[in-house]
Amino acid sequence: MTASLELTDLHKSFGPAKIIQGVNLSVARGERHAIIGPNGAGKSTLFNLISGRFMPSSGEVRLNGALISGKKPFEINRMGLSRSFQVSNIFTNMTVRENVRCGVLHSMGYGYSFWRNIGNLREVSEKTAHILNEVGLLEKGNTPAALLPYADQRTLEIAITIAGGAEVILLDEPTAGMSHSETDRAVALIEKASKGKTLLIVEHDMGVVFNLADRISVLVYGEIIATGTPEQIRGDARVREAYLGEEAEDAA
C-alpha cells in the first residue's frame, strides 16, 4: 500500500542557508504523525514545502503516490491535502460561517461559479453548519472572524483546514498560545477531526504530542534524526540529548 505522504531526499536552501537537508519521511494512511524539534529546525519550512508554498531545491513529495512537489498550493489542495497556519490565517472581514464556507466550496464542486446564488446551495450550507458544529463554533457562526477571541480564531483556522474534507491534514502548531483548558479542547477536536484521516502535526507542547501521535519524527537542523513511536522516541538517547532533555520526563 502506498504511503499517504512520502518525502524523498527533500532539500531546501535559501541562498547559502540550507534549511532542509535531505528529509526522508513516510506517513501511512490514517497515521497521526508529529514533527518535533527545536526552534529553527525547519519544521515550518517543511510544511511549506509539502503544501506547495515553497518549491523544494531538490527531492520530491508524493501524495498517495502522486508527485506534488512543484505544484501550486491550490492544485495540491484539490488533490486532498489541506494545511493550517502557525499564525492564524483567516478571512478577517467575513463572518465565521462565511470563512468555513470558503473552505467548503471547492470540494463541493462549485469552482468559480457565478451563476448560482450561494444562499441556495443547500449542501454547502449543511456541510458548513456540520463543520461549525463539529468544532463548536456554531453559536458564533455570524460573528465577524476578526472579533473572535484568540482561541476561537485558532479553532476557526482548524475548521477552515478540515472543511474541504481533505484526506491529509497538516496542522502547524495548532495549540500555540493557548491556555491549558483551551489546549485540552483543541486536542479533543483534533482527535475527532482527524479520525480516519492522515494527520501531520508540528507541535511544541510535548503533552499534546505524546498524547496524540502514533509516531513522532524529530527534526534537528533540517534533518530527521529519529522516527518512531512515542515510546521509542522517549527512549532514544540521541533525541534526549539533542532536544528533549527534561521535558520528556515531565511529559511522561
Partner 1 sequence: MTDMTATYAALEPTRAEKFRQRTVPLILFAVVLLVIPLFNPSRSMVTLLNHMGITIVFALSYNMLLGRAGLLSFGHAVYMGLGGYFAVHVMNWVAEGSGFWGAVPIFSMPAFGFGAGALAGAIIGWPSCRRSGTPFAMISLGVAELVAAAGFMFDSLFGGEMGISADRMGGPEFAGLSLGPVDEVYWFIAFWTFIGVLGTYAFTRTPLGKLSEATRDNPERVEFVGYNPQRVRYLVFIFAGAFAGMAGGMSAVQDEIFTPESLSLIPSGAILIATYVGGIRYFTGPIMGAIVMTYMGSNLSDYTVGWLLYLGLMFVGVVMFLPNGIAGIVYGTADTLRAGRLGEVWQSWLLRLAGLALIATSVITIVEVAFRWSEGYGEVFEPFGLHLGTDNPLTWALGVLPLVLGVVMVMKAAKGESK
Question: Where do contacts with partner 1 occur on this chain (CB under 8 A)?
Answer: 51, 72-74, 77-78, 82-83, 85, 89-94, 97-98, 101-103, 105-107, 110-119, 121, 125-126, 129-130, 132-133, 138-139, 141-142, 160-161, 163-164
CB-CB contact of 131 with 74 (8 Å):
no
- In the complex with partner 1, which residue's Cβ is closer, 73 or 228? 73
What is the distance between the alpha carbons of residues 203 and 199, in angstroms, rounded to a whole number?
12
- 169 vs 206, which CB is nearer to partner 1? 169
Distance CA 196, CA 188 (A): 15
Q: How far apart are CA 151 and CA 185, in angstroms?
A: 10
Residue whose CB is less far from partner 1, 28 or 79: 79
User: Judging by DSSP bridges, how do beta strands 215-220 and 223-228 pair with one another?
Assistant: antiparallel
CA distance 157 to 176: 12
Beta carbon nearer to partner 1, 76 or 248:
76
Distance CA 226, CA 196 (A): 25
Q: Which residue, 87 or 237, is less far from partner 1 as judged by CB?
A: 87
- By beta-carbon proximity to partner 1, the closer residue of 55 and 252 is 55
Task: Compute the least distance from the CB of residue 91 to partner 1, in Å.
Answer: 4
Minimum CB separation of residue 144 from partner 1 in Å reads 11
- List C-alpha distances in Å: 54 to 47, 84, 148, 195: 9, 15, 30, 28
Q: Minimum distance from CB of 89 to partner 1 (Å)?
A: 5
CB of 173 to partner 1, least distance (A): 16
Q: At its nearest, how many Å lie between partner 1 and the CB of residue 125?
A: 6
Grid look-up 538517547 returns: 237
CB of 240 to partner 1, least distance (A): 36
Sign of the CA dihedral with 142 first, then 144, 149, and 153 last: positive
How many residues appear in the chain?
252
